[in-house]
Every structure is written in C-alpha cells, then in structure tokens.
Amino acid sequence: MIKGFAAVLVVLGHALMQTGVPNVFFNGIYSVLYSFHMQIFFFAAGFVSIKMLQLEGIEGRAKYIGSRCQRLLVPYFVMGIIYTPLKIVLQKYANLPYDFSTGWRIFIGENPDGALWFLYALFIISLCVVLVIQKSNMWILWGISLVVMIISCMFTYENVIEVLKTIVM
C-alpha cells in the first residue's frame, strides 16, 4: 500500500511538472511532493524486502543478487542502450545535446534516459544491504537507513553524481 501511495505521488509530481503552468499553488505542491516522494518509495521497497533476512548462506544471497540484477539492471541498461541512439539522432531538437563520450557514465548511474536513475540506485542499495544484513544487526541498519533517508533530502541528484565522478576519476 505504501509503495502504491508513493507511486501515485510520483505520477502526480510528474503530471504537475508537465503542466508548464506558472502557478504558485502547483509549484508549491510540486515542491512538497519532490521533497519526500522518492524517499518514501525507497523506504517502502526496503521495508518489504524483509525476505533478505531469510536468505541462507552465500548461495541464497547470490541468487537474490541475480534476481535483483534481472529486475533492476537489465531494464536500466536495455532502456539506456535503446535511448542512446534516439538521443543522438534527435539531439538537434534537444535543449541539451547528447555527448557520446559520456556514455560510460551509465555504469555510475547516469543513464542517457535520466528518469531511470532510481533503478540503479535501488540495485546498489539492495546489494549493500544483502551483503551486510543479518537478524542481529537489522535494527541498527534500519536506524542508519532512516538517518540517511532524512539527510538525503538535503542533496540533489547532481551533487551525488559530482561526488561519484570525483571518486571514479
């Protein structure tokens, strides 16, 4: 139910963004929605993945990681690969032309179809959690993730990408 509510907020936020109407009321709703809707979605995704605690041994964790790859990374890379030629062909009509030399950034979460960032982020979070979570430390990790979620409200996607670029380069 929480994930469904968050999905409705995402759709509503995107719909408000597409209106293009310079309206103080719409802009206020848009700002409020975008301050927390993805955090709720990620929180709910983690909350319902309690099954990670039931994974047995390395084989169980490897199988889980493989299923997350299929569910999250396959669409992320396939859509990025499909989107890239379209972006190159149609770049003369775009506000920001596509620089093909930046294609490698797809591996650090910067997909040519920028709307897919959440798939990459959710995979990385799932990977980190499945590697460290145990019943004995679940509540500590839950508290840490809550703090990180709250702190994340202070950062934009562009700030995170700049930090990743600095680390990689």
pLDDT, tens digit (0-9, with 9 covering 90-100), for 150-167: 877 776 656 666 766 777
- pLDDT class for 73, splitting at 50, 70, 90? very high
**pLDDT for 19 beyond 70:** no
Where is pLDDT greater, at 19 or 92? 92
How large a percentage of the chain has pLDDT more than 90? 5
Please, are residues 73 and 123 in contact by the beta-carbon 8 Å criterion?
yes
Q: How far apart are CA 26 and CA 46, in angstroms?
A: 30
| pLDDT band, very low/low/confident/very high, at 20 (cuts 50, 70, 90) | low
Rounded distance, CA 47 to CA 145, Å? 11
**pLDDT of the residue at 156:** 63
| pLDDT at residue 145 greater than cutoff 90 | no
Give the pair of three-digit tokens for residue 141. 């990790």
pLDDT of 148 above 70: yes
Residue 85: strand, helix, or coil: helix
Which residue bears the tokens 């909350």?
47
Distance between CA atoms of 57 and 49, rounded to whole angstroms? 17
Lowest mean pLDDT among 67-76, 117-126, 138-147, 149-158: 149-158
71-107 core/surface letters (b: 16 or more CB in 10 A; e: else): ebeeebbebbeebbeebeeeeeeeeeebeeeeeebbe
The larger pLDDT score, comparing residue 89 to residue 69, is at 69
Single pTM value for the model: 0.64
